[in-house]
Amino acid sequence: MERIPLIGEGFPDMEVQTTHGRMFLPKDFSGKWFVLFSHPADFTPVCTTEFVAFQKRIDDFRTLKCELIGLSIDQVFSHIKWVQWISETLKVKIEFPVIADDMGRIAGTLGLIHPRKGTNTVRAVFIVDPKGVIRAILYYPQEVGRNMDEILRMVRAFCVADKNGVAIPANWPENELIGDEVIIPPATDERSAAERMKSNTCYDWWFCHKKV
C-alpha cells in the first residue's frame, strides 16, 4: 500500500474535479499557501457549520496569500447543490472550490478514510506552502468540528516563522510567557550562546525571544 505524504514532503501532483472546474494541485496554487480540508459528507450539520466558518474567514486567509479548497467523496453535483443550499438558506456564498472525490482516489492518496470511523472522509487539514511543500497535517474525528481560527493562526505563524527565521510559541500571539513575541533559534556554540544573552531578552541562553 502506498504510504500517505508526510510533513516536509511535496503535496502529490493530482488533477481534480471541483465545483470551479478542473484543477491541478499543487500547481494551480503555485506561489500561494493553500489549505486543503476534507469533510465527511455534504448536507450534514457539522460540515455545514465548518463551510460557513471557513467562508467567514476567507478574507483573512487571502490576506496571507492563502487559498482554501474543500474535499469529500461526494459527487460534484452534490457539492454544487449543497453550496447552493448554503447560499440560499444561510445567506453565505461559498467562494472556495470543493473537490469531488466520488471514486475515493484522492482520499486514498492522502489517507483521509479511517476504517474505524466509517467509509467517509475524516476531517483532515493539509497546510501547503507556496512551494507546494506540506507544512502541517491535522486529523479530526467526524463528530468534532474544527477550530478555523487555529488553522488561520497556523498559516499566519508559518508566514512569520519563514520570514524571520524564528519559532512560534504556544498559543501565539497570546503566549503565557512572552505574549506576541517569537522565539530565537537556539545557539549552536558557546560563544554565540554567551553573545545572545547580551543582545536579546532571554530566560536562559537556550530560551531567547524578541518582537517581530
Catalytically annotated residue among 47, 159, 202, 208: 47
Whether 47 is catalytic: yes
SS3 128: strand
Angle, alpha carbons 62-107-134 (nearest 5°): 45
Q: Which three cell numbers stand for residue 136?
A: 502541517
As a whole number of angstroms, the distance between CA 166 and CA 161 comes to: 5
The candidate with the shortest Cα–Cα distance to 201, out of 174, 175, 181, is: 181
Residue 107 Cα to chain centre, angstroms: 16
The candidate with the shortest Cα–Cα distance to 31, out of 129, 125, 136, is: 129
As a whole number of angstroms, the distance between CA 212 and CA 204 comes to: 20
* Helix 45-56 / helix 76-90 crossing angle, nearest 10 deg: 70
Lookup result for grid cell 518582537: 211
The candidate with the shortest Cα–Cα distance to 127, out of 32, 4, 20, 13, is: 32
Active site residues: 47
